[in-house]
Amino acid sequence: MITKGERTSARLVESMLELIQARGYSGTGLNTVVEHSGAPKGSLYFHFPEGKEALGERAVELAADQFRTLFAETVGDAASPGELLRRVVDVLIGLLADSDFQLGCPVSVVALEMGAHSERLRTACAAAFESWIGPVTDYLVGRGHPRPTARTLATTVVSGLEGAMIVSRAQRDVEALRSAAQVFGDLLDQPPAGIAKENS
């Protein structure tokens, strides 16, 4: 059973995540987080005595969990890697469109703003990206790719989608994401090298 304190802590983290997406890490003050969350005054330092960095770290971890959940839920009935990717991109496009291009990836936001200033937050962002690259790698290995190739593809796709999100947000147009889905989808749908050689 979830306790009242756990619910309050979760609300603070969720608010921090939403505000980072909309305003950036530097533009998000702790008073704003408390106000946005509706949590009791004084609760933030009770649950996060180490302050903003600790809350930001938890927000990055929540973002990583959300994407992993999206990936896991989409894998099940996707007919091909390309279809899986296109479904994930459709969700990202919906996020941008529904927010009028105000919400981006909070992990990339924190990495860009704080990666050179906070080792704690840089490490959290690195772990978040790895938590996405790892499952994609495992998925591609399951589709017949050698692990080194799968790792390279997974890293390229995750990095490419992050860049496409930033470009789409800046241009207020989802063309960059749609282009990434098409190019990476076609790439992922090519048969693994070993299978291609066997069929040649």
The total number of structural domains in the chain stands at 1
Above 60 in pLDDT, residue 194? no
199 lies in some domain = no
- pLDDT recorded at residue 200: 41
- Top-confidence residue, 187 or 1: 187
Above 70 in pLDDT, residue 197? no
Question: For residue range 62-91, what is the model confidence (pLDDT) as tens digits?
Answer: 999 999 998 888 887 788 999 999 999 999
pTM: predicted TM-score of the whole model, two decimal places:
0.89
Question: For residue range 130-142, what is the model confidence (pLDDT) as tens digits?
Answer: 999 999 999 999 9
123 lies in some domain = yes
43 lies in some domain = yes
Above 80 in pLDDT, residue 18? yes
198 lies in some domain = no
**Residue 189 burial class via C-beta count within 10 angstroms: exposed 0-12, middle 13-18, buried 19 and up:** middle
10 lies in some domain = yes
- pLDDT recorded at residue 4: 82
117, 77, 70: which is closest to 92 by C-alpha? 70
Tokens 């969700």: give the residue. Answer: 91
196 lies in some domain = no
Rounded CA-CA distance 142/158 in Å is 18
Range of the domain at 77: 4-191
What is the amino acid identity at position 83?
Answer: E
Question: For residue range 28-70, what is the model confidence (pLDDT) as tens digits?
Answer: 999 999 999 999 878 998 999 999 999 999 999 999 999 999 8
The answer to whether 74 and 84 have CB atoms below 8 angstroms apart is yes
Rounded CA-CA distance 168/104 in Å is 9
CATH number at residue 103: 1.10.357.10
- pLDDT recorded at residue 193: 66
